[in-house]
């Protein structure tokens, strides 16, 4: 009998506890292994064309990882050789679109927002082109399309429509000649300068990390 009398009281206690719960709905699981992602995840891996084996290329396929403040970005590109030829104004005509390397388009993998030569560039992967000029002021082109072959004939209207923007960069003459086209980084306050060097010409692309 005591058990029967106590049953309603026990039920009331259980009901009161249930009503007292203030649990909110379970939050949506965070992406990227439970971490809070504030920037898009950008794959820094180079992806050479499957149509041309990397081994044995006349213009080696290479990459450089550049530190910029507390960040890092990567550039993947082909490295043609001078071989005694006149480069700018010869092999690479002035006023013409250049893939800024050899074979594939040169690709920038940028995992943070940056100011590149005055262009605001969100995190992502981009193809880089230049238009060398005899005056020493080159045009830099940043394009969202990264699947096209690097030759100017592959820079179709469809590819052109995906340009993020164009900017002017300056060049300087070097004392020593560089045989293999080289892209490297030079650390500066707030980011890095991306240096494009071939023969006796160096083009400087300022890359600055955008805070926040």
37 within some domain: no
193 within some domain: yes
Contact status, residue 75 vs residue 106, Cβ threshold 8 Å? yes
pLDDT tens-digit readout, 12-51: 443 344 444 444 444 444 444 444 444 668 999 999 998 8
65 within some domain: yes
Give 111 or 14, the one with higher predicted confidence. Answer: 111
Stated pTM of the model: 0.80
Write down how long the chain is.
212
What total of structural domains would you count in the chain? 1
* Residue appearing with tokens 């379970």: 26
106 within some domain: yes
Give the per-residue pLDDT at 39: 60
176 within some domain: yes
Provide the domain limits for residue 179.
61-209
Mean pLDDT taken over the chain: 87
162 within some domain: yes
Residue 99 DSSP symbol: -
Alpha-carbon distance of 134 to 148, in angstroms, equals 27
Least-confidence region, from 33-37, 64-68, 203-207: 33-37
Least-confidence region, from 18-27, 97-106, 193-202: 18-27
Bridge partners, 124 (sequence order): 110
18 within some domain: no
200 within some domain: yes
Q: Does 144 score more than 70 pLDDT?
A: yes
Q: Where does residue 54 fall: left (phi above 0), alpha (psi -120 to 50 degrees), or beta otherwise?
A: alpha
Percent of the chain with pLDDT over 90: 79
Q: Does 10 score more than 90 pLDDT?
A: no
Alpha-carbon distance of 177 to 120, in angstroms, equals 33
């Amino acid at each position: 009998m005591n058990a029967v009398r106590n049953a309603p009281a026990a039920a009331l206690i259980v009901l009161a506890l249930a009503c007292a719960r203030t649990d909110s709905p379970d939050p949506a699981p965070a992406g990227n292994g439970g971490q809070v992602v504030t920037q898009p995840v950008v794959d820094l891996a180079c992806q050479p064309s499957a149509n041309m084996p990397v081994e044995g290329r006349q213009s080696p396929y290479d990459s450089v990882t550049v530190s910029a403040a507390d960040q890092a970005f990567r550039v993947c590109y082909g490295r043609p050789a001078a071989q005694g030829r006149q480069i700018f104004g010869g092999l690479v005509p002035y006023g013409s679109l250049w893939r800024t390397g050899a074979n594939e388009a040169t690709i920038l993998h940028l995992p943070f927002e940056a100011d590149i030569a005055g262009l605001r560039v969100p995190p992502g992967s981009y193809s880089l082109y230049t238009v060398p000029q005899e005056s020493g002021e080159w045009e830099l082109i940043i394009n969202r399309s990264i699947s096209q072959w690097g030759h100017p004939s592959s820079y179709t209207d469809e590819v052109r429509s995906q340009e993020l923007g164009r900017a002017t960069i300056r060049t300087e003459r070097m004392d020593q000649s560089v045989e293999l086209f080289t892209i490297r980084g030079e650390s500066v306050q707030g980011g890095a300068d991306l240096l494009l060097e071939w023969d006796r010409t160096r083009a400087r692309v300022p890359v600055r990390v955008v805070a926040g």
